[in-house]
Amino acid sequence: MSQLKKPSVVGPLVIGCLVIVAAGASVYAGYQAHDNEKNINQVKGLVIENSNMLKSIQADITYHTSLLKKGGGADLQGSVAEALKNIENDKVAEAQANLYKNWDASGESKDGHHMYGNPSARFTLINYSDLECPFCKRFHETPKYLVDSAKNGMVNWVWRHFPLSFHEPMASKAAMMGECVAQQKGSKGFWAFTEYWFTNSAGNGQGFAGSDKIPELFGLNKEQYESCLTDPVIIKKIKDDMQAGNVAGVTGTPATIVIDNETGKTETIVGAQPFAKFVQVIEGMAHPERAQAQETAPPAQK
């Protein structure tokens, strides 16, 4: 975990890494089956994408072959140029579709923060993150999987900016860029941006060379995007997130506050903890009687 000054120790120690839950009543019962189904659907999607691309190429070949047969040699150069342009446009469109395809459950929380998952979920993960933090990069898939694999939309995920001083100025710049994508493309665009940034950035304040292509890649109005990068409203939003994190005791990233919206109970999980740790905390909140039973159970006989 990237830290500012001192590591914070919040929440109970983890005893074991496997959470045993009862089928039916648990938040994460059957998540492995969900994972398998997700993988199958991803493979199906790739097959369909490749099939559509092949059809497009075959149509181009048929068209240009007919031109040659008709003696259209004089127009061939222009036709080829047009075809190449269309292919490039198709690539851009495909890249944009791929950026957004994993974030259909995007939206906004009641206080205007980017949310992924069911707005009415019982459990909320408030995630303080830095786009240049290597630990945040490693952790980024975990909260998404927690949302996607939870039963009946019981978990959502809310982003809060917490750029660290030793990753500046790139950390705050990346946060601004993400918000400026969201200004035109909504929260779905923001979440897609976070995934794209973590995939491409070297981290630790280094960023990446191709970040200037983001307006084109995300289909933005470039002039509006560049104006947004110095917008005081966006700057204040990021600073407000940092202030809220300071009040909550956040000293490094990633830091995640798990909230039970039904009982009001909270627990902070520090660092890039594994999926099983979050399942343990959420199941403990959902079924406190089980956690209490485990604590009072007699030691196993040798």
Q: Tell me whether residue 80 is in a domain.
A: no
Rounded to the nearest 5 percent, the helix, strand and coil shares of the chain are 55, 10, 30
pTM: 0.73
Q: What separation in angstroms does the CA of 258 have from each of 130, 172, 278?
A: 18, 25, 8
Q: Tell me whether residue 103 is in a domain.
A: no
Q: How many domains does one find in the chain?
A: 1
Domain containing 119 equals 108-286
Q: Tell me whether residue 76 is in a domain.
A: no
- Give strand ranges (E) for 152-198: 155-161
Q: In angstroms, rounded to a whole number, what is the distance separating the alpha carbons of residues 120 and 2? A: 31
Residue 300: CB atoms within 10 A of its CB come to 5
Taking residues 81-88, report their average pLDDT. Answer: 66
Q: Tell me whether residue 145 is in a domain.
A: yes
Q: Tell me whether residue 10 is in a domain.
A: no
Q: Pick the most confident of 55-69, 90-104, 108-122.
A: 108-122
Q: Which residue has the tokens 């005081």?
A: 232
Whether 5 shows a pLDDT value over 50: the answer reads no
Q: How many residues does the chain have?
A: 302
Q: In angstroms, rounded to a whole number, what is the distance separating the alpha carbons of residues 268 and 8? A: 10
Q: Tell me whether residue 153 is in a domain.
A: yes
- Cβ contact 112:93 at 8 Å: no
pLDDT of residue 269: 98
The single-letter code of the amino acid at 114 is: H
Q: Tell me whether residue 12 is in a domain.
A: no
55 membership: H or E segment, kind and range: helix 31-69
What CATH number is associated with residue 164? 3.40.30.10
71 φ/ψ angles, rounded to the nearest 5 degrees:
80, 30
Residue 30: CB atoms within 10 A of its CB come to 13
pLDDT of residue 131: 99
Structure tokens at 297: 């159970």
Q: Tell me whether residue 245 is in a domain.
A: yes
